[in-house]
Amino acid sequence: MVSASDMNSEWNALSPLDGRYAGKLSALAPLVSEAALIKTRLQVEAAWLLFLLGIPAIRIRLKKQGVVQLDGPSRWRTCLDALASGKPDVVAVARIKELEAVTNHDVKAVELYLQENLLAMEAAPTVIALTHFGCTSEDINNVSYALMIDRVRREVLLPLTTSLVDRLARMSRDHAATPMLARTHGQPATPTTFGKEMAVFGARLAGIIDDIEAVPVMAKFNGATGGYSAHAFALPEVDWPRVATEFIASFGVLHPNPLTTQIEPHDWIARLSAACAHLCSAGTGLSRDFWQYISDGWCILKRVETETGSSTMPHKINPIDFENAEGNFGIAQSLFEYFARKLTVSRLQRDLTDSTTMRNIGVAFGHLTLALKAIEAGIDRLQLNEIALANDLDRHWEILGEAVQSLLRVRGVEGAYARMKSATRGIQMTRNDYLQLLDDLGVMPEVSLVFEADDWQRLKQLTPATYTGASAQLAGFFVAAWQKRQSGGPP
């Protein structure tokens, strides 16, 4: 019996991301948590102070004020370098939260913490006074979120999506020529191959990866309403737009946005969110198709002895991974679509609605991460039931009506489509029915007189399993293109 006092904090978490699914998000949480935001803010504050200390006009003034050691080894400089390198620890986070409890302002708490540390490390008061110089809170915040989102994109989102496409490419390769009944509007249609269907989704997801990669991560550092007013008044001799551009570029992954209001307008986040929403949409389609293949018996889930599929029906192996993927894709898509709509809209120079919205960026990436992991887990348990695929194809010879009417058209037979429509529409045909159809056509002079020598032989040898056109070749095209891309070759 588990007592309330023994209950793990994960069991009491409000969000399943921090509770039930916390173990699956261990790589993501350190990148987008409250602690991650605080650490990144501190990194940006420290980096800005270091950057200021490198500006010639400021260095001259500091030396006039008696600061003689700016670059050499010192306790305060070592501390500042470490913080600017992104190395604040949990003690720093705890202290900043204490200061926030007093100030009721999260960014001011970071500034005060940095000043505390510099003072303890015996930095000159004139150096400490430059902490947060010229900044509005959003200067720190937008750079911090930009760095965090970029890390999520590079370290979690792109690797997971690439891994999913790798799996689809392997299935495309292994089953390029495995015939499968297609369905349009849910009805039997021209056959395809399983590999070609996987290639379709693989190519789509590869294109979405391109979209995600192509979004430049933007940031601004231009003061209260975007005009460098405080900077220019205090130090008019400095080219502040150039300084801000160089500071943002110094992070290596950020692109400066020179024209903003108090906030960076979040257009790049809207673009990235739209691409992520698109990923969710494509992922939902893939999850549903796999679910249908399992329901039809075309795919089988590997049996795990310790699992229970149903609390009352002991025979069941449910497609739970694909269902979990679909559910989490849906939640993530809703959030990303909201970000794309909301974050680009702010009253006048800014309102604070973007601040509370941005705090949920990690939630969206959390559900997207769960979805990608779930669909991969489902694929890893999947086995193709080629016997079931063949049986379903053999039950629907009527689908060859398309092939027959196409050949009749090429041979110039009038009313070819109407003839096949009358003979096949709404009728489930066997092989014998199909061969009888060909025999009936053979006695028609308008057909027999225009057919070439091998036409009848080709039609009689055709089966639903061989009527797949260039599907295997198309699957091969995708596999080759993806392999070349992964090896670093030209597209």
Domain count, the chain: 3
Rounded-to-integer distance, Cα 266 and Cα 217, Å: 10
Range of the domain at 79: 27-133
Same domain flag for 427 and 357: no
Shared domain for 158 and 255, answered yes or no, is yes
Residue 335 lies in a domain: yes
* Residue spans of the chain under pLDDT 50: 1-3, 5-6
By residue count, the chain amounts to: 491
Q: Are 324 and 418 members of one domain?
A: no
Whole-number pLDDT of residue 89: 83
101 and 61 in a common domain: yes
DSSP state letters, 91-138: HHHHHHHHHHHHHS-HHHHHHHHHHHHHHHTT--HHHHTTTTTT--HH
- Mark whether 109 and 155 lie in a shared domain: no
Domain co-membership, 129 together with 150: no
CATH number, residue 415 = 1.10.40.30
Helix (H) or strand (E) holding 80: helix 75-84
> How many other C-beta atoms can be found within 10 angstroms of the C-beta atom of residue 312?
5
> What is the model's pTM?
0.93
Same domain (yes/no): 243, 301 = yes
Residues annotated as catalytic are 185, 310
Would 473 be classed as within a structural domain?
Answer: no
3-class state of residue 153 by DSSP: helix
Residue 283 domain flag: yes
Residues near 479 by beta carbon (within 8 Å), at least 6 away in sequence? 169, 172, 173, 176, 199
Q: Is residue 483 part of a domain?
A: no
Q: Where are the alpha helices (DSSP H) in 310-360?
A: 320-342, 353-358
